[in-house]
Amino acid sequence: MLIRVPCAKCGKEVDRSRGRINEANKFGWKTYCSLQCQNAAKNLQIETKCYRDGCNVRVRRRRDQFRRFGVVFCSMRCAALVNNKKYPREHGVTKVCAHCSKLFKSREKYCSRECKDRASVIPREVLLGKINDFFSREGRVPFKNEIGYYHAVRSRFGTWNEAIIAAGFEPNPVMFANRHIAKDGHQCDSLAEKIIDDWMFARKIEHRRRVYYPCNHGLSADFMIGDYWIEFFGLFGEHKRYDQLRKLKLRIAKTYKLKLLEIYPHDLFPKNNLAQILSSCIT
């Protein structure tokens, strides 16, 4: 026995057996009168006219694309014509090139890449002046990572030490080697330790050198301010044995509940952060 049911697309009634109707209801299938209606129902595209005025081309787009942008174009040309008129490009204001003084329109500082490259060249005199200014301020020759123009120095002088010599100074010794005498007479195991000692001396901070830990390991701290033990781990991560001794010192400090402050090379170079690290023991 055939039963008439409407097409899910066009509404036209078609004959279907009860078995097919029950099967469709069971699986949630829809009934269509023809293959054309079935394809049209599954088509997710919509047909509309190009958004540009004067263009009557009909285009098909997915519904999600239409919902996302609200408008559709038949080609990139139509899209460009509409968008360029709707969102005009801002023309750069007239500027004077910082290098050649030529007038140009742009958002850039220089009129060309050539002028930018030439303006980026730092003269030798400026680099030597930076080294002399640092020496006048700190009383010592700067390390290469304490000056922000290391690559420029390399390109002008070849090496960092050659620049130091050209400035009239002797190159620095190895940062964490050789012994040095601090301004207060303390013997320091490295130039970095001398920098720390001189920093304390310049601020009249009373401190002691090589204070032994309260144990029988024969280990000593680099500095001591009041009841604060201060260690400079200059070779941390460089030598396995050095890292083992560092762990031992940290374990001793934890066992005896010592106030231990740790200083590393990045705390000194390129920016000196001793005031922040030692703030708890100098206030």
In this predicted structure, the answer to whether residue 248 has a pLDDT above a threshold of 80 is: yes
* Domain-embedded: residue 172: no
What is d(CA 36, CA 172) in angstroms, rounded to the nearest whole number? 87
Question: Looking at the structure, do residues 129 and 112 belong to the same domain, yes or no?
Answer: no
Question: Looking at the structure, do residues 189 and 265 belong to the same domain, yes or no?
Answer: yes
By mean pLDDT, which of 45-54, 198-207, 228-237 is the weakest? 45-54
- State the total domains in the chain: 4
**pTM exceeds 0.85:** no
* Domain-embedded: residue 249: yes
Closest CA relative to residue 235, chosen from 248, 219, 249, 246: 246
pLDDT in tens, 33-79: 898 888 888 877 788 888 888 888 988 888 777 777 778 888 999 98
Question: Looking at the structure, do residues 188 and 228 belong to the same domain, yes or no?
Answer: yes
pLDDT of residue 172: 66
For residue 243, give the H/E element and its range: helix 240-255
User: Residue 70 is part of which domain span?
Assistant: 2-86
Question: Looking at the structure, do residues 64 and 146 belong to the same domain, yes or no?
Answer: no
What is d(CA 29, CA 21) in angstroms, rounded to the nearest whole number? 9
